[in-house]
Amino acid sequence: MNGQRIGASLRALRRRGGLRQEDVARPAGVSRSTVARIEGGDVSGITVGALTAVFEAVGARVEIRPLWRGAAMDRLLDEGHARLSGQTLKLLLGWGWDTQVEVSFAHYGERGSIDILAWHAPSRTLLVVEIKSELGSVEGLLRPLDVKARLAGGIAAERFGCRAAQVCSMVVLPENARARRQVARHAAVLDIALPHRSREVRRWLRAPVGALRGLWFLSSSREAGATRNPSAIRRVRVDAKGR
């Protein structure tokens, strides 16, 4: 973490807004000396929460990105994401869903990509799937997911010609203690935003009746035998039209 750059950035933003250090400290819930310390480039011992609050007070946000062996960290994260995505696709296909991966969109300034867009023809259900190898920011998860779910019906109708009776959404996380701790830490928000959990999600995916806003902890070992007919697993379809 480059403390000098962080400090210089905070100072420049504060001055640009015509704010005193006290004006930043008050809404951030920290002391003026903490703001001065950060501006001086000393971020040792400053919590991520305090750093985030201070930058929010000047209209900015903080993203912490670990660096490791050049681009090796990105490759490592991509491996986890790809593995989780592959497991999800295998199960969806085995349960009768047609899928599209990495469906990009641009709609009046809203841009992004849907990890998996799945279509269940018998129930005319469209499912937006977000794959996360790490939970990270809850706001950074839920806000984009809401946009994708809101736009998914139009995207599917335009590209694939399928008219959905309902659009549902699901986040897939790896089944491990870390992921469960991350979810538990934000339970107050996630229990409302994504109330359905793994057992309900699996039951719904086999027979999608009613709405789903789910969070699925996917275990490769436990889910490996989830499809009753392994021969039914097909390659990913590129046509999401109803059969």
**Do residues 184 and 97 share a domain?**
yes
Looking at the structure of the chain, the number of domains it has is 2
CB-based contact 105:157 (threshold 8 Å): no
**53 and 158 co-located in one domain:** no
132 and 34 assigned to the same domain: no
Strand partners, 169: 128, 213
Tell me: do 14 and 122 sit in the same domain.
no
Q: Note whether 39 and 122 are same-domain residues.
A: no
Quick one: 106 and 16 in the same domain? no
Task: Tell whether 162 and 216 lie within a shared domain.
Answer: yes
Domain annotation covers residue 44 = yes
Per-residue confidence (pLDDT) for residue 128, from 0 to 100? 97
C-beta of residue 158 within 8 angstroms of C-beta of residue 111: no
Residue 15 lies in a domain: yes
Write down the H helix ranges in 67-196: 72-94, 138-160, 177-185, 187-193
On whether the CB atoms of residues 179 and 173 are closer than 8 A, the answer is yes
**pTM: predicted TM-score of the whole model, two decimal places:** 0.64
Answer yes or no: do 50 and 81 share one domain: no
CATH number at residue 17: 1.10.260.40
Instruction: Write down which residue in 13, 33, 57 finishes a domain.
Output: 57
* 185 in the same domain as 141: yes
46: containing domain: 3-57
Residue 152 lies in a domain: yes
Report pLDDT for 233. Answer: 32
pLDDT for residue 75: 60
On whether residue 182 sits in a domain, the answer given is yes
Listed residue (166, 170, 151, 157) closest to 91, CA to CA: 170
The CATH number of the domain holding residue 200 is: 3.40.1350
Say if 240 falls within a structural domain. no
Return the pLDDT at 71: 55
- DSSP state string for 40-65: TT--TT--HHHHHHHHHHTT------
Encode the chain (243 residues) as per-residue pLDDT tens digits. 688 999 999 999 999 999 999 999 999 999 999 999 999 999 998 999 999 999 999 999 888 777 776 556 666 667 888 899 999 999 999 999 999 999 999 888 788 899 999 999 999 999 999 999 888 788 889 999 999 999 999 999 988 788 999 999 999 999 999 999 999 999 999 999 999 999 999 999 999 999 999 999 998 654 544 444 433 333 333 333 433
